[in-house]
Amino acid sequence: MLIGRSASVARSGRQSGEGYLASSADLMIGILFIFIIMVVYLAMEIKRIEDKGADPVKSLVEELGQRLKSKGVQVQLDPDSGVIALPADALFATGKSTPLDSALDAISRTNEVLSEVVPCYVGSSNLRTGTAITASKCLGLNKRGVELETVMVEGHTDSDQYANDPDKNWHLGLDRARYIFNIFGTGDLGQLRNRKGQLLLGVSSYADKRPSKLAAHSADPKAQNRRVELRFILSYQGDGLTGGAAEVTKAIQQRQ
């Protein structure tokens, strides 16, 4: 009797031990499964935040730059500042406000690309009066719905000074910007207006006060500085950005 009881106790102990080991294994598998789910969720959340937090102006400049380069237009990009420079090897001759003949094709192609993309960054169809833009053309562009306040056409000159007119570089820079402005303004771009109903395109001059960062590495630095830049500026409404940028701000505030 004693021997039989001992055997029964031993069997019960083994079964209890096996059950404990099985429960521990199940628990570990469950914890590992939860950990994997958390890692996947965290990765997706990081990706979502990165996508929402991407600079919309930077994305626009990079998109335009890619399209321009695919058409053989030589441009210099500064996405962080929202600027595209049109050097086209050499855009203007010294002291001239009319582009070189060799640059006219690049300017025309730039106008075409801008007319394809920029209308997708204005507020609504009524702000695109006179343009042939359709919703299908904007598919995949401006997913966050941001809006542009203005596209500034900025004229620049080289460092040559003119003794008979100390302000000539300022006038020359403005005349260069106005020439490009007039080309762009005769097409769809000239019809675009911002949220306030104001014309989207504007002009300004920096004379020789903002030399190109890349000019020093060029074979002809002065030619590179005789350029026109396009500066893309987002629209603000109230105390925040419009469109997707406002959503990012709201999300950040909710997490605080």
Question: 28-37, pLDDT tens digit by residue?
Answer: 787 887 888 8
pLDDT at 188: 83
* In CATH, 56-244 is 3.30.1330.60: yes
Residues 88 and 230 sit within 8 Å (Cβ to Cβ): no
Does residue 60 sit in helix, strand or coil? helix
Q: What are the percentages of helix, strand and coil residues in the chain, rounded to 5?
A: 55, 15, 30
Query: What is the H or E stretch that residue 113 is in?
Result: helix 101-117
Does residue 143 sit in helix, strand or coil? coil
Question: Tokens 């260069």 label which residue?
Answer: 176
Q: In whole angstroms, what is the distance from residue 137 CA to residue 255 CA? A: 36
The string of pLDDT tens digits covering residues 31-69 is 887 888 888 877 776 665 555 557 889 999 999 999 999
Amino acid at 147: E
pLDDT at 134: 55
pLDDT at 33: 79
DSSP structural state of residue 98: S
Q: In whole angstroms, what is the distance from residue 100 CA to residue 205 CA? A: 19
Tell me how far CA of residue 57 lies from CA of 51, 71, 80, 178, in angstroms. Answer: 13, 21, 8, 23
Identify the segments of the chain with pLDDT beneath 50.
Answer: 2, 9, 125-130, 238-256
pLDDT at 219: 82
CA proximity to 156, closest of 105, 91, 220: 91
Residue 241 has which token pair? Answer: 């950005």
